[in-house]
Amino acid sequence: MASITSNKPIIIFVPGAWHIPWHYSAVMGLLIAAGYDAKSLELPSVGTGPPVQSFDADVAAVRALVLLEIEKGRDVIVVAHSYGGAPTSEALKGTGTKDREAKGRRGAVVGIVFMAAFVLRVGESVVDPNNEPAHFNRNGQPSFLLPDVAGKFYFDCDPEVARTFAAACKPFSFAASTSPISYAAWQDIPSWYIYPVLDKGLSTKAVEEDIGKYMKEIFKINAAHSPFASAPDAVVSIIRKVAGETIDLKPYLVS
């Protein structure tokens, strides 16, 4: 295992809805083996506790972990998956390099990698509370598990892997997905997008013509909504490239 190099940014994974840090353990392990420090966090909106009424607790949790690291003088790259793009955007106000340098402080969020994630404008939310997705099928429950998680998120994985990852999913508080953001971090912090082209919830047009306007680069890979499970080497190589390493991504990218 490579030793952790102090000048490498720490990589923080923000889970998507229904997901927990365990889901990202394979990619975190590969990053640690490459000399990075990598960690994730449990979102208060995910789990068996009382449902939350907004994404505020998620935002606070993301911000607390990021501040813990940058106040040590460390640079951070945040990798946000799916719903995690919303609390990530909200949480990072004032953490970018420009804002931190203006305060004479070392350590900053030097990049965001949106992985099949929501990239929202101010005032937008992941879900319109007046137009709830039919596939949620939550029957009015404030906290719920998505039906057929394996078929929706992990259909490109080996069946046993898909079952294992799906079984690890936890209930998600619906109200968190309806919170509008008041700050869009991608406006101030360099951002990249991992676009898994098999993701049924994303369209090439939306990614390239809308999200693409705000990203430094879009990385298209042959994976579905959870590339950390089906294409961990691709995800890790992209993150290492964003972190400044010279990495050949040709074996992983599709046109």
Bridge partners (DSSP) of residue 11 are 38, 77
22-34 mean pLDDT: 98
Q: In the prediction, which pLDDT does 139 show? A: 86
Q: In the prediction, which pLDDT does 5 show? A: 56
Q: What is the pTM (predicted TM-score) of this model? A: 0.95
Is residue 82 within 8 A of residue 117, CB to CB? The reply is yes
Q: In the prediction, which pLDDT does 6 show? A: 61
Instruction: Report residue 115 as tokens.
Output: 């992985």
Distance of CA 198 to the CA centre of its chain: 17
The answer to whether residue 1 scores a pLDDT higher than 80 is no
For 64-112, how does the pLDDT look when each residue is reduced to its tens digit (9 = 90+)? Answer: 999 999 999 999 999 999 999 999 999 999 999 999 999 999 999 999 9
Question: Rounded CA gap, 88 and 186, in Å?
Answer: 10
Q: Where are the domains of the chain?
A: 10-242
Is residue 241 within 8 A of residue 226, CB to CB? The reply is no
Question: Rounded CA gap, 22 and 226, in Å?
Answer: 13
Is residue 105 within 8 A of residue 39, CB to CB? The reply is no
Question: Rounded CA gap, 86 and 83, in Å?
Answer: 6
The answer to whether residue 3 scores a pLDDT higher than 50 is no
Q: In the prediction, which pLDDT does 228 show? A: 98
Determine the topology of domain 10-242 in CATH.
Answer: Rossmann fold (3.40.50)
Instruction: Report residue 148 as tokens.
Output: 């057929």
For 37-64, how does the pLDDT look when each residue is reduced to its tens digit (9 = 90+)? Answer: 999 999 999 998 899 999 999 999 999 9
The answer to whether residue 4 scores a pLDDT higher than 90 is no
For 147-174, how does the pLDDT look when each residue is reduced to its tens digit (9 = 90+)? Answer: 999 999 999 999 999 999 999 999 999 9
Distances (CA, A) of 44 to 16, 29, 178, 212, 224: 12, 24, 15, 30, 25
Bridge partners (DSSP) of residue 173 are 143
Helix (H, G, I), strand (E, B) or coil at 41: coil
More confident residue, 129 or 204: 129
